[in-house]
Structure formats: C-alpha cells, structure tokens
Amino acid sequence: MRYQKVKYLFIILSLTSYLFANHGRIPTYAKNGMVVSASDIASKIGCNVLKNGGNAIDAAVATAFALAVTWPQAGNIGGGGFIVYHSGDGDVTTFDFREKAPLAASQKMYLDANGKIINNSNHDSLIAVGVPGTVAGLYLAHQNLGSIPWAVLVQPAIDLAAGGIPVSWKLHNDVSIYFKDDLLKHPSTRKVVLKSDSTFYAPGEIWQQKDLAETLTRIRDNGRDGFYKGETARLLADFMQKNGGIITEEDLSKYDAIEREPVKGSYRGYDIYSMPPPSSGGITLINMLNILEGYNLKDIGHNSAFYLHLLTEAMRRSFADRAQFLGDPDFNPDMPVDKLLNKNHAEELRRSIDWFKASASDSSAFNSFYESNGNETTHLSVVDKDGNAVSLTYTIEAWWGTKIVADGLGFFLNNEMGDFNAIPGITNRHGRIGTAANLIEPEKRMLSSMTPTIVARDNKPVLLIGSPGGRTIINTVLQVILNVIDHGMNIGQAIEAGRIHHQWLPDVTSIEEWQISPDTQKLYENMGHKIHINTGVQGRAMGIFIDHESGIISGTADSRSPDGAAAGY
C-alpha cells in the first residue's frame, strides 16, 4: 500500500503528539465490582450498593439519583437518557428514556414569520423543555432487572439533599463565576443556588436542597408515579402555565420509557453494543469502526497526522449519514439502520477516502458525494461481582439545562427541545441540520448523540464507556475504544489521551489544546483539514475495563471531570 512508504515519516514527525498527550494515569483497581461517575460521592454510594448485595442496575439507579444532588449541572431527574445493559452471561438490552416533545409542540414553534429562530427560544426558554424521562427510565430498568427495593436505592440521594453536601470547587466556580448571570436571572433558581443571605456557597460549605429532598421522597414512596403524577406533576405543570411553558400534567402522565434491542457491531473480534435510535450514537459509532477496521491503525501510529486524517474522514462520512437518516424510530419506521450498520456500506465509504487529502463536506449532497456539538451530559459505568454491566448516559442538554428550577421541586429543567431540527429543510455549511427525520412532532423523542457502549468478547463485557459532550460524545467514545483495542492502552491511558472531533458540518476539526503537537497539526493541515483549537475539553469519559483472565476490574474517571471518581471493592 502507498501508506507503507510514508507511514514512518508521519510517525517520526508526529511523535511529539504522543508525548504531548496526558498518558499514564493509573486506574483504580478492584476484584468484585466498580462504579465510575462524575461525582466521588455518587460513585461511593453506588459502590456501597454493590457491597451490600445489589447488582449493576441497582448501583446505577442509586448513583444516578445521587448525581441529581451532587452534580446538578448535568446529573438529573429533569432530563433523560439511555442505559445499555450486558449481563454476565451474555444477555444484552437497552432502556430508552429520552425526553419527548410536549403535546402542544409544533414543527415551527420557534420561528418568526421569516423562518428565523426567535431569541434562541429552542434553547433558552421554558418552551425548550422536553418532557423528562429519567425517573421513568430508571424505574423501568429497576422493575425489569433490579434486585434491591426501589426505596433503598433512592434513600441515599434523599439523605444527601436533606442533610447537605460539601460544595466542591467545581460546583462553586460554576455557580459563582461561569454561570452566575444565567442562574441568577431566574427567581426560582436563585432560591436554590444561593444561601439565605443571598450569597454563594463557598467551597466546603454545606448545601442543603430541601425541595429536591421532598421531590425525591415522593419518588421513593411512589416510584414512577411519584414524579409523573400527584404533587410533583402538579407543581411542574403549574409552573409551566404561569411562566410560558407548555408541559402539562397530561404530558407527564403519558410519558413512557421503552426497552429496546441494542445495535450491535463488531471490531477486530470484539462485539460492540450500543444505543439504537433515537440515539444516533450507536449507529454512527459502529459505522466509523467499520470504516476504520480496514486500516492498520496500530502501525500508522496513535494521533499521528495520518491517523488523525483517517479518523476525520470516517467521522465526516458517518456524521453525514447521521444527519440525513436518523431520528425517533417510532416516527421514522423506514430508517435504513441495517444498511448503516453493514460493513459493505462502510467499505463503499472507505473507498472514497483519499489517503493523503481531506474530503469536502457538502451540505447539499450528504453522503452521495462520498459513495463509489456546548452541550453537557453525564455518564456512569458499573460492573458487579457477577459480571453484569451497565453503561448509562443521561442529560439535561446544556450545562444546567435551561438554568431554571421549577418552584418547590428543586431540580433543573432540561432544554432538550433544542436537539430537534428547528428550521425544516435548512441544512447548511454552518452545521444547521433540517432533515425530516428529526423535525418536531408532539410526543416525538429528539435525536441524541449519547453513546453508552459496552464492548464484549466471548459473551462477556470487557469495556464500558461513555461520555458527555453533545455531538462530540460519539467521537470521544470512538477514540477510547480505538485506544484500548488498537493501541493496547489501559483504561486510564485510553481516557486521558488527546481527542479530536469532526461532525461533517461545519467542515472543521476541533483539537484539544496542548494534546496534538504543532508539527502534527501542520502535517494534518497540509492534507487540507481546517483546525479549531479547543481551549476547553472534549468530553469527560467514565470507563471500566474487565480483564477476565486475571479477574481484575480497572476503572478511570476522566481527569477532565474534576469531581469524578472510580469506586471499587
């Protein structure tokens, strides 16, 4: 192959990219079980459930509710998400608790007479709130697979909310510096995030959340109905009616979570299980892996310019497929899922990749041209003593969602309606997508990029991975999987390594600052790629690796998540 003649040049000139990456983080090790999440407190609560005989679903439920208290920026009961579950003996299923559009939603609800979005209303208003799904999803998963009583799993979160948590530096900075103006413009939110003297909590001070404790108590005592009916539903619907929202008690009572078959792929002898639509993550991830399976990525060299080029071209093509075809399967029964997962489709896309030259992203042609993402979320991974595994990602969309807390309820409301295609028919080079599959309809679930994934071998889970980050989620998960399988990294190294992101449109590659050397960036640009330096971070991956030969479980909470931790025993 032609690349053999030049691969060593790319490797030598790009070697400093490997040195720039933050490799070598030591994972946490355990023998019996592990929980990894964005909150040290929540991970320990989940681990205690495992120690006391709970299974992976039990621990995931307890951790998720605890995150609603300790990680309010993204942990939630006011949003929605997905679970991928793999039993220790090979059974795999998923739970879809993505938010839905309210009954009063309509296709052009955010547009003025000229077809323009009004004041960012699809992200920054009460009409941006989708009907929350988290409580229904956790309850359905527990009813089907849990082993410890529901009330026992919710109680630790109640204790945290009522008794208070110590405010971390991250939480303090988010409230008092980075999101101060957004949070303080809502009177109902000010009641929650400020002390009685109207000042911010300092790091180490105890933050009590009495309204949230009462909401969680109703969920503890009444299960799903403690959220979707009764006092909580009434308070939320009343707040919506008084403040311009459109969610009603009927919307809440009609909400349902769904158990779905996972999407499945394979990569170099490993099985890949991930979330089906309305998540785009699983299909897009498997499509990219199918394309990249045709290259010897190990020899090409991790994060060399040539390696980044091939990753980018796979991302470009798979994200074009995502934009054209994917949406809620209950409203789009004819999505070509089988084709998009097929290795023959990936081979056609691979043949269109020039070894040394970037393609162009064409908003008018989608993948007919090739054929021969500040969004915040949180992820947790769990494995128990019997090898049962849970990969769970849930979200309120933006950091703090709408920044609005409904009076008397204590939790932040999502702004997930912004994940619908707001302007029908408009797809352009700036990244606006207007394809039909993801247009707004009442009770429709908006397309998601969340990609909770479990990699298995011989019917046993090996790698559990997921991340926040909007559309970057899919590419973060992709690169961690490649780091483990192709490059032999441990879970800590795989998660800490530098990342890139390309999503077809806009036609630019985001690269984490300091993670790819200037020499590598120059070679990459010379191939025709445009670069944007991401001065923040790409994702906050939470992963677990299971070595079945030694019986050792290793886990890592991404250092990009300051409060995150792995807890095992």
Which residue, among 438, 400, 434, 433, has the nearest Cα to 417 in the 3D structure? 438
- Beta carbons within 8 Å of 459's beta carbon, 6+ residues apart: 89, 90
Distance CA 318, CA 556 (A): 28
> Nearest-CA neighbor of 137 among 86, 94, 103?
94
**Residue 394 backbone dihedrals phi, psi, to 5 degrees:** -140, 165
Please confirm, yes or no, whether 377 is among the known catalytic residues.
yes
> What residue type is 365 in one-letter code?
A
Amino acid letter for position 11: I
Taking the CA atoms of 295, 299, 301 and 306 in sequence, report the sign of the dihedral they define: negative
- Tell which residue, 370, 380, 426, has the closest CA to residue 114: 426
Give strand pairing partners of 84: 94, 391
Selected catalytic residue, list 28, 94, 217, 377: 377
Number of helical H runs and strand E runs in the chain: 20, 19
Helix (H, G, I), strand (E, B) or coil at 337: helix
Residues 6+ apart with CB under 8 A from 251: 100, 102, 103, 131, 237
CA-closest candidate to residue 61, choices 100, 99, 95: 95
Separation between Cα atoms, residue 411 and residue 15, nearest integer Å = 47
Strand-pairing partners, residue 206, are 166
Q: Decide: 211 and 410 in contact? Cβ < 8 Å.
A: yes
- The neighbouring-strand residues paired with 455 are 272, 463
Strands 92-97 and 542-547 turn out to be unpaired
309: its two tokens: 């080029």
Report how far residue 534's alpha carbon sits from residue 513's, in angstroms, rounded to the nearest whole number. 6
Q: In what order do the strands lie in the sheet with 565-568?
A: 258-260, 92-97, 80-86, 389-398, 375-383, 34-37, 565-568
- CA-CA-CA-CA torsion sign (528, 530, 533, 538): negative
The residue ranges of DSSP E strands in 72-150, in sequence order, are: 80-86, 92-97
Beta bridge partners of 529: none
Query: Cα angle vertex 305, ends 304, 309, to 5°?
Result: 115
Taking alpha carbons only, the member of 32, 30, 34, 38 closest to residue 46 is: 34
HEC letters along 464-523: EECCCCCCHHHHHHHHHHHHHHCCCCCHHHHHHCCCEECCCCCCCEEEECCCCCHHHHHH
Contact yes or no for 406/413 (Cβ under 8 A): yes
List residues with catalytic annotation. Answer: 377
